[in-house]
Amino acid sequence: MNHRELLKDKKRIVVKIGSSSLQHAQTGDLDYIKLEKLARELCDIRNQGKDVVLVSSGAIAVGKKAVNPYTEMEGKPVTPLAFKQACAAVGQARLMMTYQKLFAEYNQIVAQILMTKNTVVDDMNRFNAHNTFTELLKMGIIPIVNENDTIASYEINYEKDSDTLIGDNDTLSAIVAALVEADLLILLSDIDGLYTDDPHANPNAEFISEVEKLTEEYLNMGKASTGSNVGTGGMNTKMAAARIATGMGADMVIANSRDVGILHRILDGRQEGTLFAANREENFDLKEFVNSIYKH
Ligand code: GLU
């Protein structure tokens, strides 16, 4: 049976959208038409009786735009990191305000969940997060998740060397998918999916529409660049996400966010993006895996 057909019956879906997909490239300002369409798509998927979680980046990018006039007046920030964290504090609130408004148009309640690495590796935190997600989904609410950037030590060319940092929302979304026992994770990005090589650098790179088993060969195809300089996730972080999602038993799709209507087409079993088939590993331990990818 065509694996794509199985996507029609997915019950619990985590969708991740990156910063570069939410902004106009020319100005860095929010793309309201895309955000509006995203909200409508997700509400409609929810109305089909499926559980939906949105993992959204954009806090730092939105905050930066908002504080811009003030930084010009005041000059240099205390540290570049403090500046980014301050931007995240402003931007996360703005982003949620926008989402609340757009989802309210469709009578959909949303909730905010901000996570750090400790949410996964600390047993009590993980237990609480799992219960909160479960309760929200039971009530038909769409949780909107981001990393708690003001608490986690965030570096733009991130080194995963902090005690609290996850660092990119690709990995975060797979962790969320594992936490809520989702059966599908969709990563919306500024690329069509996985290629045999970086398509920006190599014109002969071939598109891969399905990865049945995540072998070393595929993992090596993950290049560190998507061509975008806004978010932090490249193909490498998407491969880490695939490792977690498929290992925990969920299918994963990487798809282009150019038209967010692609969400419906994916759930309709159409050939869109790259599908990574679930391969549940009985002894896949999320906590152990998360700890291992952050070790240097
Ligand atoms: N959490 C960051 C933000 O909201 C983005 C991380 C990422 O792009 O992967 O700005």
pLDDT tens-digit series, residues 19-73? 989 999 899 899 999 999 999 999 999 999 999 999 999 999 999 999 887 766 6
Closest residue CA from atom 8 of ligand 1: 231
Does residue 85's CB lie within 6 angstroms of at least one atom of ligand 1?
no
- CA dist., res. 97 & res. 112, Å (int): 11
Contact 235, 224 (CB under 8 A): yes
Q: pTM of the full predicted structure?
A: 0.91
Domain 3-293 has CATH 3.20.10.10: no
Q: Which is nearest to 242 in space by CA: 146, 173, 149, 166?
A: 173
Does residue 232's CB lie within 6 angstroms of at least one atom of ligand 1?
yes
- CA dist., res. 25 & res. 150, Å (int): 25
Q: For residue range 243-294, list pLDDT tens digits in order.
A: 999 999 999 999 999 999 999 999 999 999 999 999 999 888 888 888 876 6
Phi and psi based region of residue 158 (left: phi greater than 0; alpha: psi -120 to 50; beta: remaining):
beta
- Is the torsion defined by CA of 119, 171, 92, 113 positive or negative? negative
Q: What pLDDT is recorded for position 162? A: 52
Q: Ligand 1, residues 147, 156, 166, 235: which to mutate, most atoms within 8 A of Cβ?
A: 147
| Residue 122 C-beta-side C-alpha neighbours within 13 Å | 11
